[in-house]
Amino acid sequence: MNAAGEWSEVTEAMAVPSDVLRAVRRTVDKWRDRVVDLSRVLISIPSLSGQEGDVAKALSRAMDELGYDEVRVDEVGNVIGTVHGVSRSPGVVLNGHMDTVPPADMDKPFRPEVVEGSVFGGRGLAITGRGACDMKGPLAAMVLAGAVFKEIGMRPARDFVVSAVVLEEVGGSIGSSHLIRSGIRGKLAIIGEPTSLRVNLGHRGSVHMDITTFGKAAHASTPEVGENAIYLMAPVIEAIEHLNHRLPEHPFLGKATVAACDIDAFPGVRNVVPSACRLSVNFRTVPKMDEAAVISLLKETLGRVFAEQSDRWKVDMAFNEGSTYTGRPFRTPKVMRGYWCEPSGAGFAALASAVQAATGRDAEVGFWRFSTDGPCFFLDGGMPAYGFGPGDETVAHSSTEHVLVGDLLAACVTYALLGILVT
């Protein structure tokens, strides 16, 4: 894309055979209730991070009943369903996560309702509930898309894989990273996070860090005999704020940023001058700005604040620790990498053509404000990875989370057409 917002490389569109398009549309329209019902079943099952087991069973059961050629659950609990292609070679990989954030103040989070979309400013009907767009609804559309081929008497051109992964919401791409390490590959990966049916090309990353300052404890009645670690943190907070002016910028994703997000003191007693203070910061990084660059930048900044007195502070990566619902332990940095996948090549041409055929309009492109598992497929798996999903990202995690039924159906058609076009 150039400065005028035009694509510098024009990708030749792929034609969708009219008889195939009619057959796919007719099938998905006929399955409208099945798409809605599966979405509601998935939404009704609570699945916080690390507790995705029941949703995994529901997805596995649905894939089996729909005639997938292979359905398996791997060591960490990811569900992988495969429809064999005419060529038994890697083709389309659809990806979505099974875990959701907590319901917070959402009304009826696990009792999904079908309501008029006009309640949310949309058209047609909408499904409510936690995970409606992030990502229970998109997963339902993916699973049904894989069943379309058998219904219309065709095989996808290559193997068509639907992957439902664990532990995305906690950061660190634990489920998708395992998927890639286990050998899952494709000619094209689609991340089904909500995009409002746009084609998303990437996003900034997220790196969580902890900064600790060290003072000397004392009774609060005689603070002069101690050294207050909170006061030592004050110039650090100011330096972190000013650090925003020095961070790099991506031409389309915008600037990298850093924000102070949480602070606590130790021992945390009201009448004790604290001996330590910890500040949690979150960097939003641009592509190629990894955690090593973030650590180096923080150490340089704190070195200036404390005039190289390295015993007064430390910088630590924040980690996720726990176990998957299958009992497999994990400890991984709270890092979601940024990435940008150029809108070019056969994969993008196939997606743009499928979107146009399914929606009747040219594909619009954009990017996410949040982070996804896309870098696992693009950076680690070496495949083009674009975002395309039903739902509006601005309602994900909110008390008004929902997904339009029309968007689910359009996504389902698009996903199925990709199986035909990616040859």
Structural domains in the chain, sorted by start: 18-203+338-421 (3.40.630.10), 208-323 (3.30.70.360)
- From the list 133, 107, 129, the residue with the least C-alpha distance to 44 is 129
| Predicted pLDDT of residue 361 | 94
Phi/psi for 92 (5° steps) reads -90, 135
For residue 406, count other CB atoms closer than 10 A to its CB: 18
Contacts of 300 (CB under 8 A, 6+ apart): none
Of 11-20, 56-65, 292-301, 332-341, the least confident: 11-20
pLDDT score of 12 more than 80: no
CA–CA dist 243, 419 (Å, integer): 46
Q: Is the N-terminal amide bond of 135 cis, ω within 30° of 0?
A: yes
pLDDT score of 339 more than 60: yes
pLDDT score of 394 more than 90: yes
CA–CA dist 237, 360 (Å, integer): 51
CA angle 176, 94, 59 (to 5 degrees): 80
For residue 251, count other CB atoms closer than 10 A to its CB: 10
| Predicted pLDDT of residue 4 | 34
Q: Map residue 347 onto helix, strand or coil.
A: helix
- Tokens (6 digits) for 338: 């940024």
| Predicted pLDDT of residue 16 | 86
Strands (E) across 146-271 are located at: 158-165, 188-191, 199-200, 202-203, 205-214, 218-219, 249-250, 254-255, 257-266
Please write down the long-range contacts of 234-239, taking CB distance under 8 Å and 24 or more positions apart.
235/305, 236/211, 236/279, 236/302, 236/305, 236/313, 237/279, 239/301, 239/302, 239/304, 239/305
| Predicted pLDDT of residue 233 | 97
Q: How confident is the model at residue 309 (pLDDT cuts 50, 70, 90)?
A: confident
Q: How confident is the model at residue 334 (pLDDT cuts 50, 70, 90)?
A: very high
CA–CA dist 406, 414 (Å, integer): 12
Q: pLDDT tens across 55-109, in order?
A: 999 999 999 999 999 999 999 999 999 999 999 999 999 999 999 999 999 999 9
For residue 35, count other CB atoms closer than 10 A to its CB: 24
| Predicted pLDDT of residue 385 | 98
| Predicted pLDDT of residue 5 | 37
pLDDT score of 3 more than 50: no
pLDDT score of 322 more than 70: yes
- DSSP assignment of 302-323 equals HHHHTTT-GGGEEEEE-EEEEE
Q: Are β-strands 329-333 and 319-323 bridged in parallel, bridged antiparallel, or unpaired? A: antiparallel
Q: Is the N-terminal amide bond of 112 cis, ω within 30° of 0?
A: no
Place of tokens 């000619």: 187
Q: pLDDT tens across 276-289, in order?
A: 999 999 999 999 99
Contacts of 284 (CB under 8 A, 6+ apart): 204, 205, 206, 256, 257, 258
CA–CA dist 77, 310 (Å, integer): 43
CA–CA dist 76, 330 (Å, integer): 9
| Predicted pLDDT of residue 6 | 37
Sign of CA dihedral 143, 144, 147, 153: negative
Contact between 266 and 275 under an 8 Å Cβ cutoff? The reply is yes
CA–CA dist 106, 140 (Å, integer): 22
| Predicted pLDDT of residue 176 | 98
**Average pLDDT, stretch 118-143?**
97
